[in-house]
Chains A and B, each alone.
Chain A
């Protein structure tokens, strides 16, 4: 069996060479507190390869100017690069056209955009928005805000003890009052992969739209919005190798066309008079002000990088590494893993004896091991699980088995310090 530490693992048509991959990420070579960095906080944000850093750098060095404004060479080149970046991202997720992709700051802004435009225009008293108890605060608070104003009700699909959605509860809660179902593709705390295509189909059968929060899915799997069948798909660049401050909202063109604009300003208009304004066509209708041009260019380069490695190879590597990590952690006496053992990505929440997650994070950090501790912007789910905080190790394709071993070794240090047998 190939191990994630062997070099040049043959993976179908693409070869996955972990040493070469790691060499693409300059930060992975640094030390933290005298130890090699073991970066296991990828669900919070991923690291960046040279390709992305250089794309951003050369944009600023060679073609930077504002977009969609000037007739001069730099503005034309910057506009071309920005719109090409949109086309790359749109093509990557199977969008029918680049105009269906709105550049935003990230998943949070994408969801707020839909809540504040589609939601404000369409939700009324008595309507229901159906979420799940595993939603990140960013796919929860925007709906509470808009529903509160509209007099609509937010309902939540139950989560089973193993962290999977209770689909019978979904069937029960879905009704002709449901206007929108908003669900995460992959849980940011438990790594659960939800049956999104089925959720979308049932939402549509009930006459509701479906928004999918793809923040934790897009970094790990090939997204095809046509296959999912959803109406909106929101995701962030920075969790999939791109710079911070850039993300995308994909929406069905017919929906985007009829949604009111959100923020007003330059770029989003076609004509302004003292009496009023006409909006620009989508996607620019939703991109008021100077956009994150360099971020979009970095985002497209990140997508190209992921495509070169290939999601098949990424999936194989991560699946094997996740299985290795789950086994290694399960073998630690007194350690409890949350979430299912299958149908999941390498986002692993756990608790260890009576050592609080923050104490674990501090101790692991001294060994160079970066994990997250806390509620992961997932307070309702944590309450549902009956814990106030978990430790979370989240993997990406540049992680290795020896890094999992370093994690387990550092847990041993925590056990010694806390006198855990």
Chain B
């Protein structure tokens, strides 16, 4: 019979990059999770293939995001990304938020310059996702919610 090796070379380091401690920490102790009093915007998106769900809630004061919460279920990547987003975007303007989203998206598609941008904060821990293209949609689910609500194509913008 074939011997199934347990030696993990490259793939182990890729996996360790993918599942950094800070990601697991956000997954297990999500920030800004739960209902948001006085939300001005909310939207629920799911990924029908995996069943991941994010319900993103914003409170906007003019162009500023005064608070941001989420509810959801799904994999560590989708949930950690939502948690990190909330921590990072509270108090920022929509313009800043969309800029961060663009940088984050570029990082997920392998852009090294984007990955070095300290503006991304904890989100930089998700850099390992770029080596797992099928998981990019997990990392972007919460951001797709944001874009639907306040992105350039959003109704009323």
A residues lining the B interface (CB < 8 Å): 5, 19, 33-36, 38, 354-359, 362-363, 366-368, 373-375, 379, 382, 388-389, 400, 402-403, 405-406, 409, 413, 417-419
Bound together, the chains give a CA A417 to CA B16 distance in angstroms of: 7
How many CB-defined contacts (below 8 Å) exist between A and B? 78
Query: Within the complex, what minimum Cβ distance (angstroms) separates B105 from chain A?
Result: 20
Our pick among B11, B53, B74 for the contact of A34 (Cβ within 8 Å) is: B11
Per-position binary interface string of chain B over residues 3-24, scored 1 when its CB falls under 8 Å from any chain A CB and 0 otherwise: 0111011111011101100001
Residue of B whose beta carbon sits closest to that of A36: B2
Contact status A402-B50, CB under 8 Å: no
Give me 12 other A-B pairs in contact (C-beta within 8 A), A367-B4, A402-B2, A409-B4 excluded: A5-B1, A34-B11, A36-B4, A358-B74, A358-B138, A359-B75, A359-B77, A362-B135, A366-B8, A367-B8, A388-B53, A418-B24
> Is there contact, CB below 8 Å, between B1 and A388?
no
Find chain A residues with CB under 8 A from B12 CB.
366, 413
At the interface, yes or no: B49 with Cβ under 8 Å from chain A? yes
Q: Which residues of B contact A419 (CB under 8 A)?
A: 24
Residues from chain B with a CB closer than 8 A to the CB of A418 are 19, 24, 76
- Is B73 on the interface with A (CB-CB < 8 A)? yes
Q: Which of A358, A367, A406 contacts B50 (CB 8 A)?
A: A358
Give Cα A402 to B3, complex, Å. 8
Instruction: Determine whether B41 belongs to the interface, using a CB cutoff of 8 Å to chain A.
Output: no
Q: Which residues of B contact A35 (CB under 8 A)?
A: 4-5
Contacting A375 at CB < 8 Å: which of B16, B51, B76, B135?
B51
Contacts of A36 in B (CB 8 A): 2, 4
Q: Contact mask B60-82 → A, CB, 8 Å, 1/0?
A: 00000000000001111100000
Bound together, the chains give a CA A240 to CA B49 distance in angstroms of 24
CA distance A418 to B28 in the complex (A): 10
Q: Are B49 and A388 in contact (CB under 8 A)?
A: no
Q: Which residues 111-157 of B sit at the A interface, judged by CB distance below 8 A? A: 132, 135, 138
How many Å from the CB of B107 to the closest CB on chain A? 18
User: Which of B4, B14, B18, B132 sits near A403, CB closer than 8 Å?
Assistant: B4
Residues of chain B within 8 A (CB-CB) of A363 are 15, 19
Q: Nearest chain-B residue to A355 (Cβ)?
A: B76
- How many Å lie between the Cα of A34 and that of B5 in the bound state? 9
